Amino acid sequence: MSLTLVLIVLLFSIIVLFSEDFAKVGKKILNIWGMKLFLPIFIASVLIIDFQDTFAWIIDVIIDKFSWCITKVAAMLPFTFYNRQLTAIFSLMVIGPLSVILFDWIRMKKGYRSFEYRNQTILMLWTVAAILYVFIH
């Protein structure tokens, strides 16, 4: 137990001692073209592979809530012909672009510049939403 504690303290002291060098390496990695887009995707993929059961449960909960919302909104529509499918398709058209536009608007309101990968993020969110829609039906 004490050996583990000593190794953890030693590891973090090395990290603190060389934090400036680690920051320089991180900046060099992020200066590579496209790394700001692909590094988070790579890290997310590794995390999904490592915690596959947890992510499967989370996706199941998201699908269940998405289906519940679609059913509730479809019940409010005056027509009954394909109302659930039309509601799902409309929500797909809204989820991706609206969330990214809202994020970009909040970022611009704070005085920062616009989000660089806005269209790619909209496309990725729409793809995830479309996959969730396919799993629902």
Structure tokens given for 27? 């900046």
CB 136 within 8 A of CB 71: no
pLDDT at 113 over 80: no
For the stretch 10-60, pLDDT in tens is 888 888 888 888 889 888 888 888 888 888 889 988 988 888 888 889 888
CA 22 – CA 124 distance, rounded (Å): 31
Lowest-confidence region among 3-7, 44-48, 55-59, 80-84: 80-84
pLDDT greater than 80 at residue 115: no
Looking at residue 82, the DSSP 8-state letter turns out to be: T
Residue 80 has pLDDT above 80, yes or no: no
Residue 63 pLDDT:
81
Q: Rounded to whole angstroms, how far apart are CA atoms 15 and 22?
A: 8
Q: Who wins on pLDDT, 129 or 20?
A: 20
pLDDT of 82 reads 80
Spatial distance between the Cα atoms of 133 and 137, rounded to a whole number of angstroms: 6
> What is the CA angle 44-104-62, rounded to 5?
45
Coil, helix or strand for 114? coil
